[in-house]
Amino acid sequence: MTEEEFWSLIDLLEGVANQRTTPALAETLAREGKDRIEEFADILAAMVQQIETETLSRIPARDVNDPPDAPPVPLLGDALVNIRYAIVAAGRSQYQQIQRNPDRVADCTWNFSESDGLAEAVSMAYEKTTGEPWLGPLPGFGMDDPRELAAIAEKDTPWLIVAVHGDRDIPTAYFDAADTVVEMVQGDPQWKTWWSRSATHDLAIEIEYTSQAERSSVTTRRGRVQASFRRNDSRFRGLNKGGLAYLAATDLEAVLTLVSTSLRLPSPPEVPRPAHATPPTRRDGVARARLEELRQRHRKRP
Protein backbone atom coordinates (compact mmCIF):
# COMPACT_ATOMS: atom_id res chain seq x y z
CA MET A 1 0.00 0.00 0.00
CA THR A 2 1.35 3.41 -0.95
CA GLU A 3 0.97 6.53 1.16
CA GLU A 4 -1.36 7.91 -1.51
CA GLU A 5 -3.62 4.89 -1.09
CA PHE A 6 -3.41 5.19 2.69
CA TRP A 7 -4.53 8.81 2.64
CA SER A 8 -7.33 7.97 0.22
CA LEU A 9 -8.67 5.51 2.78
CA ILE A 10 -8.29 8.10 5.54
CA ASP A 11 -10.40 10.48 3.43
CA LEU A 12 -13.34 8.11 4.00
CA LEU A 13 -13.45 9.52 7.53
CA GLU A 14 -14.25 12.99 6.17
CA GLY A 15 -11.80 14.56 8.59
CA VAL A 16 -13.04 12.94 11.81
CA ALA A 17 -12.54 9.52 13.39
CA ASN A 18 -15.44 8.58 15.66
CA GLN A 19 -18.11 5.92 16.12
CA ARG A 20 -19.99 7.24 13.10
CA THR A 21 -17.11 7.27 10.60
CA THR A 22 -14.71 4.47 11.53
CA PRO A 23 -17.12 1.58 10.69
CA ALA A 24 -17.13 2.70 7.03
CA LEU A 25 -13.34 2.57 6.97
CA ALA A 26 -13.40 -0.88 8.60
CA GLU A 27 -15.87 -2.14 5.97
CA THR A 28 -13.68 -0.87 3.13
CA LEU A 29 -10.55 -2.41 4.61
CA ALA A 30 -12.36 -5.71 5.11
CA ARG A 31 -13.24 -5.81 1.42
CA GLU A 32 -9.61 -5.18 0.47
CA GLY A 33 -8.35 -8.25 2.32
CA LYS A 34 -5.94 -9.35 5.02
CA ASP A 35 -2.70 -8.16 3.40
CA ARG A 36 -4.05 -4.68 2.75
CA ILE A 37 -5.35 -4.42 6.31
CA GLU A 38 -1.90 -5.24 7.66
CA GLU A 39 -0.27 -2.75 5.29
CA PHE A 40 -2.73 -0.05 6.36
CA ALA A 41 -1.99 -0.85 10.02
CA ASP A 42 1.75 -0.53 9.46
CA ILE A 43 1.42 2.86 7.78
CA LEU A 44 -1.06 4.09 10.40
CA ALA A 45 1.32 3.11 13.21
CA ALA A 46 4.16 4.93 11.46
CA MET A 47 2.07 8.07 10.89
CA VAL A 48 0.96 8.18 14.51
CA GLN A 49 4.46 7.61 15.83
CA GLN A 50 5.84 10.41 13.66
CA ILE A 51 3.76 12.92 15.59
CA GLU A 52 6.04 13.88 18.46
CA THR A 53 4.20 13.60 21.78
CA GLU A 54 6.72 15.80 23.56
CA THR A 55 5.95 18.74 21.30
CA LEU A 56 2.19 18.29 21.78
CA SER A 57 2.33 17.61 25.50
CA ARG A 58 0.38 20.12 27.60
CA ILE A 59 -0.78 22.19 24.63
CA PRO A 60 -4.39 23.15 25.44
CA ALA A 61 -6.80 21.69 22.89
CA ARG A 62 -10.58 21.81 22.52
CA ASP A 63 -12.80 18.82 21.86
CA VAL A 64 -16.23 19.12 20.22
CA ASN A 65 -17.75 17.27 23.17
CA ASP A 66 -16.46 19.75 25.75
CA PRO A 67 -19.08 22.00 27.41
CA PRO A 68 -19.19 25.45 25.76
CA ASP A 69 -17.73 27.20 28.80
CA ALA A 70 -15.07 24.56 29.53
CA PRO A 71 -11.42 25.59 29.15
CA PRO A 72 -9.26 23.73 26.60
CA VAL A 73 -7.85 20.43 27.87
CA PRO A 74 -4.04 20.23 28.25
CA LEU A 75 -2.88 17.29 26.16
CA LEU A 76 -1.90 14.61 28.66
CA GLY A 77 -2.65 10.91 29.09
CA ASP A 78 -5.46 9.58 26.91
CA ALA A 79 -6.03 13.00 25.35
CA LEU A 80 -2.43 13.02 24.14
CA VAL A 81 -2.85 9.52 22.67
CA ASN A 82 -6.15 10.31 20.97
CA ILE A 83 -5.13 13.65 19.48
CA ARG A 84 -2.56 11.88 17.33
CA TYR A 85 -5.27 9.73 15.75
CA ALA A 86 -7.42 12.82 15.31
CA ILE A 87 -4.57 14.54 13.48
CA VAL A 88 -4.18 11.59 11.10
CA ALA A 89 -7.96 11.37 10.62
CA ALA A 90 -8.05 15.07 9.70
CA GLY A 91 -6.29 14.19 6.46
CA ARG A 92 -2.96 14.65 4.81
CA SER A 93 -2.96 18.44 4.61
CA GLN A 94 -3.79 18.98 8.29
CA TYR A 95 -1.37 16.23 9.30
CA GLN A 96 1.51 17.91 7.49
CA GLN A 97 0.65 21.33 8.89
CA ILE A 98 0.66 20.02 12.48
CA GLN A 99 3.95 18.26 11.89
CA ARG A 100 5.50 21.54 10.76
CA ASN A 101 3.90 23.58 13.54
CA PRO A 102 2.48 21.56 16.48
CA ASP A 103 1.12 24.71 18.14
CA ARG A 104 -1.57 24.80 15.44
CA VAL A 105 -3.33 22.11 17.48
CA ALA A 106 -4.54 24.85 19.80
CA ASP A 107 -6.18 26.71 16.89
CA CYS A 108 -8.64 23.91 16.07
CA THR A 109 -11.59 22.26 17.76
CA TRP A 110 -11.00 18.53 17.57
CA ASN A 111 -13.10 15.42 17.89
CA PHE A 112 -10.43 13.42 19.65
CA SER A 113 -12.37 11.75 22.47
CA GLU A 114 -13.29 8.79 20.22
CA SER A 115 -10.49 9.02 17.68
CA ASP A 116 -8.63 5.95 18.94
CA GLY A 117 -11.42 4.09 17.13
CA LEU A 118 -9.26 4.64 14.04
CA ALA A 119 -6.86 2.02 15.38
CA GLU A 120 -9.71 -0.26 16.38
CA ALA A 121 -11.04 -0.14 12.80
CA VAL A 122 -8.03 -2.28 11.90
CA SER A 123 -9.08 -4.92 14.41
CA MET A 124 -12.70 -4.81 13.21
CA ALA A 125 -11.69 -5.23 9.57
CA TYR A 126 -9.24 -8.02 10.31
CA GLU A 127 -11.75 -10.03 12.31
CA LYS A 128 -14.42 -9.61 9.65
CA THR A 129 -12.02 -10.70 6.90
CA THR A 130 -10.29 -13.62 8.59
CA GLY A 131 -12.81 -14.70 11.21
CA GLU A 132 -10.01 -14.44 13.76
CA PRO A 133 -9.18 -11.73 16.30
CA TRP A 134 -6.41 -9.25 15.57
CA LEU A 135 -3.33 -10.59 17.38
CA GLY A 136 -0.80 -8.06 18.47
CA PRO A 137 -0.74 -4.37 19.23
CA LEU A 138 -3.25 -2.03 17.68
CA PRO A 139 -1.32 0.37 15.45
CA GLY A 140 0.14 3.32 17.26
CA PHE A 141 -0.30 2.11 20.83
CA GLY A 142 3.24 0.77 21.32
CA MET A 143 5.91 2.72 23.17
CA ASP A 144 9.38 2.97 21.72
CA ASP A 145 11.05 5.33 24.17
CA PRO A 146 14.07 3.48 25.66
CA ARG A 147 13.51 5.28 28.96
CA GLU A 148 10.01 3.82 29.20
CA LEU A 149 11.28 0.32 28.39
CA ALA A 150 13.94 0.59 31.10
CA ALA A 151 11.34 1.78 33.60
CA ILE A 152 9.17 -1.26 32.87
CA ALA A 153 12.11 -3.62 33.45
CA GLU A 154 13.13 -1.92 36.69
CA LYS A 155 9.78 -1.09 38.28
CA ASP A 156 8.55 -2.90 41.37
CA THR A 157 4.87 -2.42 40.64
CA PRO A 158 2.96 -5.48 39.34
CA TRP A 159 3.09 -5.96 35.57
CA LEU A 160 1.23 -9.28 35.42
CA ILE A 161 -2.43 -9.60 36.37
CA VAL A 162 -4.19 -12.96 36.06
CA ALA A 163 -7.89 -13.58 36.66
CA VAL A 164 -9.19 -17.16 36.67
CA HIS A 165 -12.89 -17.98 36.75
CA GLY A 166 -15.34 -20.51 35.37
CA ASP A 167 -18.88 -21.79 35.08
CA ARG A 168 -18.20 -24.01 38.08
CA ASP A 169 -15.89 -23.63 41.05
CA ILE A 170 -12.20 -23.73 40.18
CA PRO A 171 -10.37 -26.37 42.26
CA THR A 172 -8.64 -24.63 45.15
CA ALA A 173 -5.36 -26.43 44.48
CA TYR A 174 -5.35 -25.15 40.89
CA PHE A 175 -6.26 -21.60 41.89
CA ASP A 176 -3.63 -21.45 44.64
CA ALA A 177 -0.94 -22.87 42.36
CA ALA A 178 -1.74 -20.35 39.62
CA ASP A 179 -1.45 -17.56 42.18
CA THR A 180 1.92 -18.92 43.32
CA VAL A 181 3.25 -19.09 39.76
CA VAL A 182 2.13 -15.52 39.06
CA GLU A 183 3.94 -14.28 42.18
CA MET A 184 7.14 -16.07 41.18
CA VAL A 185 7.01 -14.75 37.61
CA GLN A 186 6.12 -11.26 38.82
CA GLY A 187 9.26 -10.88 40.91
CA ASP A 188 11.72 -12.62 38.58
CA PRO A 189 14.20 -10.16 36.96
CA GLN A 190 14.41 -12.36 33.85
CA TRP A 191 10.67 -12.15 33.36
CA LYS A 192 10.68 -8.38 33.94
CA THR A 193 13.35 -7.97 31.29
CA TRP A 194 11.40 -10.18 28.90
CA TRP A 195 8.22 -8.17 29.42
CA SER A 196 10.04 -4.85 28.96
CA ARG A 197 10.54 -5.86 25.31
CA SER A 198 6.78 -5.64 24.80
CA ALA A 199 6.90 -1.83 25.11
CA THR A 200 3.72 -1.90 27.18
CA HIS A 201 3.13 -1.33 30.87
CA ASP A 202 1.33 -4.47 31.96
CA LEU A 203 -0.28 -7.73 30.93
CA ALA A 204 -3.81 -8.63 32.02
CA ILE A 205 -4.72 -12.28 31.45
CA GLU A 206 -8.24 -13.65 31.84
CA ILE A 207 -8.69 -17.43 31.78
CA GLU A 208 -12.24 -18.74 31.72
CA TYR A 209 -12.94 -22.43 32.30
CA THR A 210 -16.19 -23.53 30.74
CA SER A 211 -17.84 -26.25 28.69
CA GLN A 212 -17.93 -23.94 25.66
CA ALA A 213 -15.51 -24.06 22.73
CA GLU A 214 -11.96 -22.97 23.49
CA ARG A 215 -10.66 -19.67 22.10
CA SER A 216 -7.86 -17.14 22.56
CA SER A 217 -7.32 -13.46 21.84
CA VAL A 218 -4.49 -11.01 22.50
CA THR A 219 -4.86 -7.27 21.97
CA THR A 220 -2.92 -4.17 22.98
CA ARG A 221 -4.57 -0.91 23.92
CA ARG A 222 -3.57 2.12 25.97
CA GLY A 223 -0.27 0.64 27.09
CA ARG A 224 -1.81 -2.63 28.30
CA VAL A 225 -1.87 -6.07 26.73
CA GLN A 226 -5.17 -7.84 27.32
CA ALA A 227 -5.20 -11.59 26.77
CA SER A 228 -8.40 -13.59 27.00
CA PHE A 229 -8.51 -17.38 26.98
CA ARG A 230 -11.31 -19.89 27.23
CA ARG A 231 -10.43 -23.44 28.26
CA ASN A 232 -12.48 -26.58 28.81
CA ASP A 233 -13.09 -27.29 32.47
CA SER A 234 -12.93 -31.05 31.92
CA ARG A 235 -9.13 -30.74 32.24
CA PHE A 236 -9.50 -30.69 36.06
CA ARG A 237 -11.07 -34.13 36.31
CA GLY A 238 -9.18 -36.90 38.04
CA LEU A 239 -6.24 -34.75 39.12
CA ASN A 240 -4.88 -34.68 42.65
CA LYS A 241 -3.37 -31.61 44.32
CA GLY A 242 0.05 -32.09 42.70
CA GLY A 243 -1.49 -32.68 39.29
CA LEU A 244 -3.64 -29.56 39.55
CA ALA A 245 -0.58 -27.50 40.51
CA TYR A 246 1.30 -28.86 37.50
CA LEU A 247 -1.68 -28.10 35.24
CA ALA A 248 -1.86 -24.52 36.53
CA ALA A 249 1.81 -23.98 35.69
CA THR A 250 1.56 -25.52 32.21
CA ASP A 251 -1.63 -23.59 31.44
CA LEU A 252 0.09 -20.31 32.31
CA GLU A 253 3.12 -21.40 30.30
CA ALA A 254 0.92 -21.96 27.24
CA VAL A 255 -0.82 -18.61 27.71
CA LEU A 256 2.45 -16.69 28.10
CA THR A 257 3.93 -18.44 25.08
CA LEU A 258 0.94 -17.41 22.96
CA VAL A 259 1.25 -13.82 24.21
CA SER A 260 4.94 -13.91 23.31
CA THR A 261 4.16 -15.16 19.80
CA SER A 262 1.36 -12.64 19.28
CA LEU A 263 3.57 -9.72 20.28
CA ARG A 264 6.61 -11.09 18.43
CA LEU A 265 8.66 -11.16 21.63
CA PRO A 266 11.71 -13.32 22.30
CA SER A 267 11.00 -16.73 23.79
CA PRO A 268 9.89 -16.27 27.40
CA PRO A 269 11.92 -17.62 30.33
CA GLU A 270 10.97 -20.94 31.84
CA VAL A 271 7.75 -20.81 33.85
CA PRO A 272 8.44 -21.85 37.46
CA ARG A 273 6.59 -24.78 38.97
CA PRO A 274 5.26 -24.91 42.53
CA ALA A 275 7.32 -27.27 44.68
CA HIS A 276 4.49 -29.81 44.99
CA ALA A 277 3.59 -29.84 41.27
CA THR A 278 3.76 -33.35 39.82
CA PRO A 279 3.32 -34.15 36.12
CA PRO A 280 0.68 -36.76 35.35
CA THR A 281 1.94 -40.27 34.65
CA ARG A 282 0.79 -42.52 31.84
CA ARG A 283 -1.25 -44.43 34.39
CA ASP A 284 -2.98 -41.20 35.42
CA GLY A 285 -3.80 -40.51 31.78
CA VAL A 286 -5.33 -43.94 31.29
CA ALA A 287 -7.39 -43.56 34.47
CA ARG A 288 -8.67 -40.16 33.38
CA ALA A 289 -9.59 -41.48 29.94
CA ARG A 290 -11.46 -44.39 31.53
CA LEU A 291 -13.30 -42.03 33.88
CA GLU A 292 -14.33 -39.82 30.98
CA GLU A 293 -15.55 -42.85 29.04
CA LEU A 294 -17.74 -43.89 31.97
CA ARG A 295 -19.14 -40.37 32.22
CA GLN A 296 -20.02 -40.38 28.53
CA ARG A 297 -21.78 -43.73 28.87
CA HIS A 298 -23.73 -42.46 31.84
CA ARG A 299 -24.93 -39.44 29.86
CA LYS A 300 -26.19 -41.66 27.03
CA ARG A 301 -28.39 -43.75 29.30
CA PRO A 302 -32.11 -42.93 29.03
Q: Are 248 and 174 in contact (CB under 8 A)?
A: yes
Which is more confident, 44 or 223? Answer: 44
Strand intervals (E) in 147-191: 160-166
Q: How far is residue 262's CA from residue 257's CA, in Å, rounded to a whole number?
A: 9
Query: Hey, what amino acid is at 213?
Result: A
**What is the SS3 string spanning 4-54?**
HHHHHHHHHHCCCCCCCCHHHHHHHHHHHCHHHHHHHHHHHHHHHHCCCHH
The model's pLDDT over 112-162, given as tens digits with 9 standing for 90+, comes to 767 778 888 888 898 889 887 776 666 766 544 444 445 444 555 678 888
pLDDT grade, residue 223 (50/70/90)? low
Q: Where are the domains of the chain?
A: 3-135, 146-300
Kindly give the interhelix angle for 34-49 and 22-32, rounded to the nearest 10 degrees. Answer: 130
Residue-level pLDDT at 148 = 47
